[in-house]
Amino acid sequence: MQVELFSGLAARPNKRQDAIAKFKQAVLPSETTQSLEEMLSSLTEQEMSSLQQKAKMILLSSPSYSTSYLTQVKQMFPNLGKAKQNLLAELMQQISPRDILVEDEEQPAIARHKAIMAYHDQLEKSFMSMQPKQAEIVKEKEAGLPTQDDVLVVELMSALKDREAKRLKPTGSKFKDYSSPVADPEGVYAYREPFLADLAPIAKEVASELGIDPRIVMAQAILETGWGSKVKGNNYFGIKGKGQEFTTHEEVDGLMVKQKDEFRTYDSLEDSVRDYGKFLKENKRYKPLLAADSFDEQIEALAGSGYATDSRYGEKILRIIEGKTFRNLVG
């Protein structure tokens, strides 16, 4: 049978307690001293419950401490108040004696951190295993706890409830509300969904004219612009030519280096996609790509065409197409 912490302590005087009381009286004759029993008797039911709860926390975290109880109490409950800190430390020494009776100031921050983490772990396990009725009791007690003394309890329980609420909350539509313009004059898109919504129809049309898989066209635009988020002059395929100059990254001897180069500019996304189709048709090195029949052959031909200096270009295109985001948005 479990015995409640501190229960009966006030009714069991012993020689050691009498000696302490006499010593205090001799040293401080002008002050009225109280024994542990008297101090316990003066506590309200709520204060007693709060101290018992803190005592349990101390016992749970004791393996992390090599200090006196007073040091541990001060570190775990800095806002408890000096009188109650001393009382709690003396009570802990009574029910579970330690050899260390003096302050140990070594690494107090580390000790406190370990204690808090041990307490959090134990509290989370206890809370998650509670029956509904027990959980309701905890909620009632939570409302009456001193906010400073039991701030860790309140915060952790709140976090657990928030996490559970988020887990059960319906996710709703995966698409955002795009009531404002989605692309700026340079062609930069704030979100992936509208970018693909604008890109897909024209990409499919141009891909059909070229005889290649439309996913390749879309994946190239995604790779070249970071899903439409990094665009200059509405150039979605990184096609070089006169119009604008900016720094880009090119692979040279296996290393990515910064280079300044000139790139074409366009009035719109559609103009960029159509010029991409024209660019492939007019350059002989893309004939293997346009002649390839299967998707795999087209990816391989694109990788070997030299469209980009990146030696992993074809691999990256394939990774985008097989990625979860692309498949969810494109199908």
Question: For the segment 182-193, what is each residue's pLDDT rounded down to a tens digit?
Answer: 678 888 998 888
Q: What is the spatial distance between Cα 146 and Cα 274, in angstroms, rounded to a whole number? A: 69
Which pLDDT does position 175 carry in this prediction? Answer: 40
pTM: 0.47
Q: What is the spatial distance between Cα 224 and Cα 317, in angstroms, rounded to a whole number? A: 10
Same domain for 199 and 142, yes or no, is no
Q: Is 33 within the bounds of a domain?
A: no
Same domain for 138 and 201, yes or no, is no
Same domain for 159 and 271, yes or no, is no
CA distances from 129 to 58, 120, 124, 125 (A): 21, 14, 9, 6
Same domain for 64 and 157, yes or no, is yes
Which region, left, alpha or beta, applies to residue 71 given φ > 0 means left and ψ of -120 to 50 means alpha? alpha
Same domain for 196 and 326, yes or no, is yes
Which pLDDT does position 182 carry in this prediction? Answer: 61
- Residue 253 confidence (pLDDT) above 80: no
Same domain for 213 and 163, yes or no, is no
Give per-residue pLDDT as tens, 119-155.
666 666 665 655 444 445 455 454 544 444 455 555 5
Same domain for 237 and 307, yes or no, is yes
Our count of domains for the chain comes to 2
Q: What is the spatial distance between Cα 282 and Cα 132, in angstroms, rounded to a whole number? A: 72
Nearest alpha carbon to residue 183 among 240, 126, 230, 125: 230
Helices (H), the chain: 15-27, 36-41, 45-61, 69-76, 82-95, 108-128, 132-144, 151-168, 192-210, 214-225, 269-282, 287-291, 295-304, 313-322, 324-330
Domain that holds residue 217: 192-330
Same domain for 257 and 148, yes or no, is no
Q: Is 183 within the bounds of a domain?
A: no
Tell me the mean pLDDT in the region 104-108: 48
Range among 12-21, 172-181, 320-329 rated most confident:
320-329
Same domain for 201 and 323, yes or no, is yes
Which pLDDT does position 263 carry in this prediction? Answer: 93
Strand partners, 60: none
Same domain for 251 and 160, yes or no, is no
Q: Is 17 within the bounds of a domain?
A: no
Q: Is 184 within the bounds of a domain?
A: no
Q: Is 85 within the bounds of a domain?
A: yes
Q: Is 227 within the bounds of a domain?
A: yes
* Residues 24/29/33/35 CA torsion (nearest 10 deg): 40
Give per-residue pLDDT as tens, 257-313.
888 889 999 999 999 999 999 999 999 999 999 999 999 999 999 999 989 888 899
CA distances from 217 to 107, 139, 209, 282, 318 (A): 60, 57, 12, 17, 11
Domain boundary among 168, 202, 218: 168
The helix-helix angle for 313-322 and 295-304 (nearest 10°) equals 150
Same domain for 201 and 290, yes or no, is yes
Same domain for 220 and 322, yes or no, is yes
Q: Which residue has the higher pLDDT, 81 or 30?
A: 81
Tell me the mean pLDDT in the region 182-207: 89
Q: Is 153 within the bounds of a domain?
A: yes
Q: Is 124 within the bounds of a domain?
A: yes
- Residue 224 confidence (pLDDT) above 80: yes
For the four alpha carbons of 75, 78, 83 and 84, in that order, the dihedral sign comes to: negative
Percent of the chain with pLDDT over 90: 31
Q: Which residue has the higher pLDDT, 70 or 273?
A: 273
Tell me the mean pLDDT in the region 25-51: 73
Hey, how many other C-beta atoms are within 10 angstroms of the C-beta on 200? 17
Range among 12-26, 156-170, 208-222, 254-268 rated most confident:
208-222
- What tokens does 161 get? 């409830």
